[in-house]
Structure 1
Amino acid sequence: MLFKLGEDLITDDAQALVELVKNSYDADAQTVRVEIDTEHWFDRETGQELEDGEAGAAGAVRGRLSVRDDGHGMDLDVIRRGWLTVSNSGKRKFKAEGRTTRLGRTPLGDKGLGRLGVQRLGSIVQLETVPVSDVAPTTYKVSIDWSKFLDADSLSTVAIPVETQPYADGDVKPGTEIRVLGLNSLDYWEGKGELDLQKQLASILSPYDNAAGLRVFIKINGVDVDTRREARRLLDAAPTILRFAYANGQLEIESATQIVSLRGQSADQAATYRRLVVPDNGFAFATWLLREKAAKAKSLGAELGDDKYFLRFSRTIDLADAADSRHEVGDPGPFSGEISSFTFDRSEDSALDTMSELRSFAKGMSGIRVFRDGFGIRLDDDWLGLSRQQTTAASYYGLRPLNSAGYVNLSARDNVALEETSSREAFRDTPAWRGFYDLMQQVVKFARETQELVRRNWVTYAREQLTPTALPSTATPLEISDHISDRAAQAAGAKGRAEEAKATLKELDAIVDGLDTSAAGAGEALWVDPELQAAVTRASSEIRAAQTKLSSALVEVDGVLDMIRDLQGAAELLHEKISLADERVSDAWESVALGLSAEILAHEVDHIADRLRGRSHQILDYLRGQEPVDVRSIGYAEHVRASSAELARQVSRLNPSLRFRRETRGLHKVSDLVASAVEFHHPRLESRKITLVADIRQDFMIRINEGKFMQIIDNLVRNSEYWVSREVDSKRSDRGEITITVDSPFVQVQDNGPGVPMSVEDSLFDPFVTTKPAAVGRGLGLFVVSQLLDSEGGTVELADHRNHAGLRDRFDVDLRTLLVDPEPRTAGR
C-alpha cells in the first residue's frame, strides 16, 4: 500500500525532488545543494562510489541523488514521528496555529507525504542529519533499503538501523543530507535532453524569484543547471509584458509594449514598420492612437511610454467586478506576477530571432506557472484556458499558450485559502480558488484588449498613412464596396474623354501637316528668316514626338479603363456577397438566440421535472396506503413519474453543453461516450426504421469536454439521419443504417444514405454550405462540428471511402491530440 501511495500521490521524480527541497525550506535552510549522478555505480551499503571494474559487483547500484541543506536538522524523535511516519506532520498543527519558523516562514509541507517522494526516487535512502542543540551536536544516520519491505509480512518486521555519533562543539554544523542510491528513473534525469529537464525543474522551482531567502543549486552529472538568468532575460526581452498584483480586494494590472510588436511577418509589413515606426520610435502612431481611439485608450489607462516601451497601460479591478456571478467567490489573498508575450519571427528586430540562444529556451519555458514561496504547483499547461479563447485568425491578439511565459507568486502565509490537492497537481475547487481564477481571467482579458487596441489600429494607421482614403475606419463592408463601385463608375466615365483625346490627336495631324507645308512655302519666298524656319521645323518635330507618346499613353489608358470596368463588376459582385453574408449572419444569430433560449429552458425544465418526480413519489406513497386501492390514480401517478424521469433524461443531454459547463474537461473512454450517444438517439431512430450501432475496434481515452463531444456526435448523427430517412421514406432503402466506429485515434460516422455530392466535397465544412432545402437546413451543422473540434484540438474530414454510387459516405473525427494514456508509466520503468 505504501509503495502504491508513493506512485499515486507523487506524480513524477521532479515532484519527489521538490518535496525534499520543501522540507529544507521548512527547516529554515538558506542554501540547498542538489546533486544528481546517473553515470556512476555505488555500494548499496556504504554509498561509496565504485571503480569502473566494480560496477557489476553484487550490491552495486547505479545513480545517486543527494539533497544537502543547512537547516535546523532533525533529532531522533522528529525522524521517528515525522519523517518515518506517513501523514503524521507536526507542521500541520504549527501552520493551523498561525505560527512561523525562526526565519518567519510558514511551513509548506503539511501533509506528511515527503517520505513517499524519496521512496519513489530510488532503491535505498540514506539520511544524515545534525539537529540544532544546546548540548554537544549529534549526527543521526538512518539507512533504508526498500527491497527488504517487499517480502515482509508487516512494516514492523523490518528493522531500520540508526547510527548515532556525537561531535565536539564547532566540529559540525546543523543540517540534513538525504542520499538516494540506485535511481529508479535514470532516463528521466539524462534521457530527455537538457532543455526538457530545465523545463521540468522550472515548473517546480521558480526560475523567476528566490523562495523567501532559500537558494537552490542543482548539478546534474557535474554540470550546473541554471534557469534563473535566462528566465529573467526572456521576460525582459519580450515585446509585451504584463505585471499584476492583487491585495485587499483590488487587482492592479500594468502592461507595456515595445515597437517590435508592430513589425509583422512579411517583407511588406517590415518595410511599413521601418518607414512609419522606426524613425520616431512609434511616437507618431502612439499619439494618433491616443487621439483617434481616446475612449478605448482611456478605459485601458493608455499613455505614452519611453524609449523601450512606447505605450503603457494600467487598470484597477475590484474583486466584486471580476467575479463570475454564476458561482460563489472568495478572497484568495495577496498575489502578484508577470507575463510576457513574445513572437518567434525571424527578423533582425526580434529579441528571439534564429541567432538568439533565448529562442529555444523560450519555447521550453512557455506557460504561466504558479509558485507558492518559490515552489511550483503543477497545474495543467493551459490552466487559464488560453487555447479555448484563441481563434485561428491571424488577427487574434490575445495571449497564446505557446507564446506566453510568466509566473504567479503565492505564499503559504497569505494564501492559506488556496488549498492544493494531495498530489500538488491542482487547487481544490473552493470560493478562494474561483476568486483567484476570475482575477487571472481579468489579466488575460486586459492583455487581449490592450494588444487589440495597439495592433488592430496599427493596421488602420498604416493604411491611412500609405494609402489615404475618403472612407473612415469605421466604414462597414457594404459602405466600402459601394465606395469602390462609385469610384469605378467615375473612372469609367473617363472612357469617353479618352476617345475625344484620340480624335483631337488626329486633328493635330492635320495642323502639323499644315505647319510643315507653310514652312516649305516660306523657304521659297524672297525674304527668308533662317531662325524662324528652323524654329518651325523643330516645333513640328517635337509636336509629332509628343503626339506619338500621347497615342501610346491613350492605348494604356484604354487598358486601365477596361480593368476598372472589370473591377466595377467585381465590386458589384462583392456587394452581392456581402449582402448575402449579412443575411446568413442574421440566420446565425437566430440560431444563437435559439441556443440561449434552450439553455434557459433546460434549466427550468430540469427543475420542473425534479419537482414532478418528487411530488409523484409522494402521491404514490399516499395512494398505495389508501383502502380500497385506486388503481387508475396509481397508474396515472406512475405515468407522471415515468414521464418526468424521461423528461429529465432528455434535458440531461443538454446539460454538459451548457455555457457554464463547457469550460470543464474530463478524462473519458470514447466507447462510453459513444454508447451514451447511441442510447440517446436509438429510440427516435428506431421509430424511423434506422439502426444506430457502435463498432468498437480499438478503444482509447481522451481528455475533452463531454458536452462538446456529444454535440459533435449529435450533429454527425442528425446529418446522417436526414439523408438516410429520405432514402427510407422514398422506399429506395428498406432500412437505414448509421455506424459509429471507434478505432483509436479516430471516431468514424458512416451511413447507407446517398453519399455526399461531389459539388460540395471541398466546401462541406464551410458555413452555410448545404444541399438540403432552405426550409430544412442552414448549412451550419458540419461547420459547428469542425469549430468544436478545433477548439479542443481535434479535426474532422470527409474520408476517401466511397459507397456503391461512387460518392463519399464517411466522416473521420481525428482525436490524436486529445489522447491520454489511462495508465501513465513512471519514467524509467
Structure 2
Amino acid sequence: MEHHFSISPRILLHLGEDLIKNESIALFELIKNSYDACAKKCEIDFHFEDLKLTRITIKDDGFGMTKEIIENVWLIVGTDNKKKILEPNSCGRIPLGEKGIGRLGIHKLGNKITLYSKSIGNSEVEVNIDWDTLYKAQKIDDFKIDLSENETAKEFTNSTGTKIVIENLKTTWDRRQLREVYRNINSLNSPFTETNDTFRVITTSNNNVFEGLPNFEDIKKDALYFGHCKMEGKEITEFNYKFKPWKSLEKVEQGRKITLNDLLEEDRILKKYPQKNEFEEIDLNKSKIGSIEFDIIIFDMDAQILNFANSEKTSLREYLKMNGGIRVYRDGIRVYNYGERDNDWLGIDLKRVQRVGGNVSNNIIIGSVKLERANSFGLTEKTNREGFIENESYDDFQEAINYVLSLFVRERNNDKSFLTALYKKHRSVEPVLSDLNDLVSIVEKKVEDKDVKEEIVTYLHRINDQYKEVKEVLIKSANAGLNLSVVIHEIDKLINQLTGCIERNEKEKAIKISQMLEKIIRGYSAMIKKSDIKLNSLSKIVSIALDNYEFRFSDHSINIITNWKENKLQAYLAEAESISVVTNLLDNAIYWLTYARKSERYISVYITDQIEGYISIIVSDNGPGFNIPVDVAIKPFMTGKPHNIGSGLGLHVANEMMNAMNGKLLFISDENEIEFPQAVKNNKANKAIIALCFPIQKK
C-alpha cells in the first residue's frame, strides 16, 4: 500500500520564522522583489496611530503581476521561477531572488496582508491573507486566501506596480528598533556609489521617529583616511589612498596620496595570509568571483586628534557604532549580514586583539565591497539570507579583501604615526622617563616639607633606575624571541633534511648537515649570552651572524657580498647584542628579497669607517627598498609587510639595542652617501640601506 507525505499548514509559519531572521531581512526580501520587478522606486511607509506603529506599506512602480503569476508563482512556496537566472531581465537586471521564499518574510512582519498588483494591459489584482486563520487550519488546503481582480483599480489607475499593506503587526516596535530598521534600509545601497537613479528606496512616516539621524555624507567629513581599489584576476588594477587632513589641523602642511604606480610590483598581486611565511596567490577568475571594487574610509578616534574635528563627537561615535564595518553589495544591492555589529566576517576586531598595534577596528571604518552578480556565481547566498555559503570561492573572496585592507591600513598607519607625533602632548622618545623627570620637578616646586620632598624624590629616582633595568631586560628578551622563531624554523628544516639523508644512507651529506646544525645552535648561544661593552672586532660579529644564516642564504638562493675577512676595524660594542641586531637585519633582507621574487638576490654586509666617529656595519640588498617612512619603521608594532604580519618589533628592538650600546641605527636614503664596493654597485645591492654605527671611543 502506497503512502505519501502530507504537510501541516504550520510549515509556512516555520519557514517564515526560521528562514527570515529578523524584520530588517524580511523588509529587505520584499525590496529585492521590487528590484527584480524592474521598479525604479520602492517606497516603505511606517504609519503610526496614537504613537504606535500599526501599518507598514511597501509600494513599487515595477511591472506588477497578473492573476496567473500570483496563482502559479507568488502563492507557490519554493518556486524555481527565478532560480539561477543569470541573464538580465527586460530592464537589464539579473534577479536577486533565487529560492522563492522571500515573500514569506511578510509573515515575519504581520498577520493581515493586503496586496495590490497591476501589470501592463491587465486588471489590478487584489490578494487578502489572514495568517491568523492558518493556526486553525488542519490541512494546507484549509488555509484559504482571497484572490480577485478589481475591475476598477484601487491603487494603480494609470501605472503598474505592486503594493503590500501589512497590518496586525506581530512585533511591538519601539523607537530604537524602528531606527535600526531605518538604518538597515538605508544601507541597501552602497554609500560610496552616487545616487542610484535606476533603483531608489525611500522611507517615510507620519511620525518624527526618523528625524535627527546623521547621514553618511555628514559623517564622511570627519574621516581622515580614504581608500579605493579594484581587483581583477590576480591583480589590483586600481589603487588610490588619500590622507585628507582637516583645515583645523594647522600643523599638517599637506595631505598625501598613494596610487597604483607607488605600490611595489609584488604588492599588486593578490595574496592569501601566509602559511609558514609563504604567500599563495588568489585568482578571482578561477574562483568565479569576477572583478571586485573596494572603498573604505577610516576615522581617527583618538581624543587628541578628534578634538580638531568640526563635529558632534557623541553622534559620530554612535553612528560608527551602528554603521561601522565593511558591507558587501552585489549589483548595487546589499548582501546581508556582512558589516553588521555581530558579524566580524573579516576578523578585523579579532586581529586587533591578537596583535598589539597597527590594526584598525570595525568601529572606526566604513567600507563597501562591490560585486557583479553575472560574474560572481562562485558566491552563493545562504537560504537564510545571511551571507554567502562558505566554500573555496568565499575563502578567496575574504582573503582578497583582507589583503587589500592591509595595504590601506599600512598607509594609514604611516599618516597616523606622523599625525600623532605632531599633536601628542608628550613627544619624548622616552615617555615614561620624561614623565618621571617632570614629576620630580613638580614635587620640588610644590612640596614644601623638606623631609617629605626628599622621600618622594628618592622613590622617584629609584623607580627611574628600576624602569631602565626592566626595559633593558625586556628589549633583550624581545630580540632573543624574534631570533628564536627563525632559529626554530631553520633547525626544523635541517632536521627533516638530516632524517631524509639518513634514510637514504647519504653519509657525507648527513655529516655536513649535522655540522650546520651545530653551527646554528652555537651561533644562537652566542646571541643570548650576557656580554659587556668593550673593544671588539666587527669582523667577528659579521662572520658569526653570516654563519648563523648560511643555510637560509642557500635555501633562498641569496648571494652575500661582504668585506669582513679583510677588515680589521674595531669599535666598542656588546658582542651578543651586536650579533643579534645584525641577524635581525639579515632576516628582514631575506624576507623582502623573497617577497619581491628577485631572480638574482644579493645582500651586502659592509664594514666601514665612513661615518664619522663610528665604525659601522652597513646592511643593504637589491630588493624593493623601504615602503614605509624610516621614522615610522623604528616605532613598535609598525610593519610594512602585507597582511600586517610579524610583530612589528624588529627594527624598534634593533634601534633600542644600538642606543643601549651608545651607538645608533641609521637609515641611509641616498646610496651615494656611502662609497660601496664595486660588486655592491654592479648588483644594485644598495637598497634598503641600514647602518649599525658603533662608537670608536668608549662612552
Question: Kindly tell me: are residues 381 and 343 of structure 1, through their superposed partners in 2, closer, same or farther at Cα, counting changes over 3 Å?
Answer: farther
Going from structure 1 to structure 2, the CA distance change for 1:388 and 1:322 (only over 3 Å counts) comes to closer
1:585 corresponds in structure 2 to 478
In the TM superposition, what is the alpha-carbon distance from 1:566 to its structure 2 partner? 11
Name the aligned partner's letter for residue 83 of structure 1.
W
Is the Cα–Cα contact under 8 Å of residues 127 and 177 in structure 1 kept in the other structure?
yes
Partner of 1:246, secondary structure, is strand
Aligned to 2:78: 87
Q: Aligned partners of 1:142 and 1:462: how far apart in 2?
A: 65
Pairwise CA distance, 1:368: 1.5
**Is structure 2 residue 373 aligned with structure 1 residue 390?**
no
Distance 1:420 1:323 in 2: 28
- 1:99 corresponds, among 77, 80, 87, to 87
Deviation at residue 126 of structure 1 after TM alignment: 1.1
Using the alignment, how far apart are the partners of 2:124 and 2:474 within structure 1?
80
2:386 equivalent among 418, 421, 425? 425
Q: Is the 8 A contact 1:36 1:219 kept in 2?
A: yes
Are the structure 2 counterparts of residues 227 and 111 from structure 1 closer, same or farther at C-alpha, using a change threshold of 3 Å?
Answer: farther
Please name the residue that 2:560 is paired with: none
Are 1:71 and 1:176, in contact at CA under 8 Å, matched by a contact in 2?
Answer: yes
Are the structure 2 counterparts of residues 359 and 390 from structure 1 closer, same or farther at C-alpha, using a change threshold of 3 Å?
A: closer
Matched, 1:381 2:346: no
Tell me if the contact between 1:339 and 1:407 (Cα under 8 Å) persists in the aligned partners.
Answer: yes
Residues 495-542 of structure 1: CA deviation (Å, up to 9, x unaligned)? xxxxxxxxxxxxxxxxxxxxxxxxxxxxxxxxxxxxxxxxxxxxxxxx
| Per-residue Cα deviation, 1:271-318 (whole angstroms, up to 9, x for no partner) | xx75xx25x347xxx7xxx9xxxxxx999928xxxxxxxxxx999623
Structure 2 counterpart of 1:577, which letter? V
Matched residue, 2:401 = 440
> AA paired with 2:99?
K
Letter in 1 for 2:240: E
Residue ranges of structure 1 left out of the alignment (5+ in a row): 42-60, 264-272, 291-296, 303-312, 468-472, 489-562, 601-829
Q: Secondary structure at the match of 1:100?
A: coil
Structure 2: distance between partners of 1:75 and 1:102: 17
- 5 Å-filtered alignment, 1:226-241, equals 230-241=215-226
C-alpha distance in 2, partners of 1:205/1:227?
20
1:333 corresponding residue in structure 2: 290
More contact order relative to length (CA 8 Å, sep ≥ 6): 2
1:194–1:593 CA distance, 2 compared to 1 (3 A) = same
- CA 1:575–1:158: 2 relative to 1, 3 Å: closer
- Give the direction of change, closer, same or farther, for the CA distance of 1:461–1:124 in structure 2 (3 Å limit): closer
- The CA deviation at 1:341 is 1.2
Report matched runs for 1:608-627 at 5 Å. Answer: none
Q: For residues 548-602 of structure 1, give each alpha carbon's deviation from its aligned partner in whole angstroms, at most 9, with x where no partner exists.
A: xxxxxxxxxxxxxxx99999987765553344224533675698679989999xx
- The answer to whether the aligner puts 1:200 opposite 2:184 as a matched pair is yes
Q: What letter is aligned with 2:45? A: E
Higher-helix-fraction structure: 1
* Alignment equivalent of 2:116, drawn from 125, 128, 143: 128
Distance 1:369 1:454 in 2: 25
The counterpart of 2:31, out of the listed 21, 26, 35, is 21
Instruction: Tell me which of 172, 175, 182 is aligned to 2:161.
Output: 175
SS at match of 1:81: helix
Query: What SS is found at the alignment partner of 2:415?
Result: helix
Equivalent in the alignment of 1:342: 299
The aligned residue for residue 785 of structure 1 is none
Question: Quick check: 137-146 or 104-113, which moved more?
Answer: 137-146
Q: Does 1:139 align with 2:139?
A: no
- Residues 588-597 or 176-185, more deviating: 588-597
Residue aligned with 1:105, SS: coil
Alpha-carbon contact 1:16-1:120 (below 8 Å) kept: yes
Q: Specify whether residues 158 and 245 from structure 1 end up closer, same or farther in structure 2 by C-alpha distance, changes over 3 A only.
A: same
Deviation at 1:35, TM superposition (A): 0.8
Letter in 1 for 2:295: E
SS at match of 2:136: coil
- The letter for the 2-side match of 1:231 is F
Shift of 1:247: 2.6
Q: CA deviation at 1:401?
A: 1.5
Q: Deviations over 1:466-489 (max 9, x none)?
A: 88xxxxx9xxx9xx99x99xxx9x
Question: Structure 1, residues 220-245: CA drift from partner, whole Å, max 9, x if none?
Answer: 34458599982133234311111122
Tell me which amino acid in the other structure corresponds to 2:159: K
How has the CA–CA distance of structure 1 residues 597 and 384 changed in structure 2, closer, same or farther, with 3 Å as cutoff?
A: farther
CA distance in 1, matches of 2:492, 2:221: 45
* From 183, 186, 206, the counterpart of 2:172: 186
Counterpart AA for 1:149: L
Secondary structure, in 3 states, of the residue corresponding to 1:413?
helix
| Structure with bigger gyration radius | 1
Distance 1:90 1:424 in 2: 18
For the residues of structure 2 that align with 1:86 and 1:599, how far apart are their CA atoms? Answer: 59
8 Å Cα contact 2:117/2:161 also seen in 1 = yes
1:144–1:349 Cα change, 3 Å: same
2:96 aligns with 108
Alignment partners' CA distance in 2, 1:191 and 1:6: 24
> 1:347 & 1:148 partners in 2: Cα distance?
60
Kindly report which structure 2 residues correspond to 1:547-586, keeping only aligned pairs within 5 A, or say none: 573=466, 576-585=469-478
Q: Which amino acid aligns with 1:254?
A: N
Match of 1:411 among 366, 372, 379: 372
Alignment CA distance shift 1:163-1:347 (3 Å):
same
Q: Which residue, out of 207, 216, 230, partners 2:201?
A: 216
Task: Give the SS at the match of 2:389.
Answer: coil
Do the aligned partners of 1:319 and 1:435 also contact (CA within 8 Å) in 2? no
* Whole-Å separation in 2 of the counterparts to 1:347 and 1:597: 44
* Conserved 8 A contact 2:179-2:209: no
Q: How big is each residue's C-alpha offset from its partner over 1:175-214, in whole Å with a ceiling of 9 and x where there is no partner? A: 1111111111132xx3326643443334445455455711
Q: Distance in 1 between matches of 2:313 and 2:183?
A: 21
Amino acid at match of 2:94: T
Over the aligned positions, Cα root-mean-square deviation in angstroms equals: 4.7
Summarize the Cα distance change of 1:128–1:78 in structure 2 as closer, same or farther, 3 Å threshold. same
CA 1:323 to 1:182, structure 2 compared with 1: closer, same or farther past 3 Å?
farther
Alpha-carbon distance between aligned partners in 1 of 2:211 and 2:369, rounded to the nearest angstrom: 20
Q: CA deviation at 1:12?
A: 0.4
For residues 77 and 174 of structure 1, the distance between their equivalents in structure 2, rounded to whole angstroms, comes to 16
For residue 105 of structure 2, the aligned residue among 108, 112, 117 is 117
Cα distance in 1 for partners of 2:43, 2:208 equals 13
Corresponding residue number in structure 2 for 1:558: none
SS of 2:117 mapped into structure 1: strand
574 and 102 in structure 1: CA distance in 2 versus 1, 3 angstrom threshold: same
2: CA distance, partners of 1:228 / 1:331 = 39
3-state DSSP class of the match of 2:83?
helix
After superposition, the C-alpha distances for 1:780-800 in whole angstroms (9 at most, x for unaligned) are: xxxxxxxxxxxxxxxxxxxxx
Q: Is the 8 A contact 2:228 2:294 kept in 1?
A: yes
The question of whether the paired residues in 2 share the 8 Å contact of 1:31 and 1:70 is answered with: yes
Q: CA deviation at 1:413?
A: 2.4
Q: Secondary structure at the match of 1:91?
A: coil
Which residue identity is paired with 1:128? Y
Conserved 8 A contact 1:254-1:315:
no
Q: Which amino acid aligns with 2:95?
A: P
Indicate if the aligned counterparts of 2:62 and 2:162 stay in contact, CA closer than 8 A.
Answer: yes
User: Partner of 1:90: helix, strand, or coil?
Assistant: coil
CA distance in 1, matches of 2:101, 2:324: 29
Structure 2: gaps spanning 5 or more residues: 1-10, 438-455, 494-699
Work out whether residues 328 and 431 of structure 1, in 8 Å CA contact, stay in contact via their aligned partners in 2.
Answer: no
User: Is the contact between residue 29 and residue 70 of structure 1 (CA under 8 Å) also seen in structure 2?
Assistant: yes
In structure 2, how many angstroms separate the alpha carbons of the residues matched to 1:245 and 1:228? Answer: 32
SS in 1 for 2:373: coil
List aligned pairs for 1:53-92, cutoff 5 A: 63-92=54-83
1:318 maps to 269
Q: Match for 1:110: what amino acid?
A: E
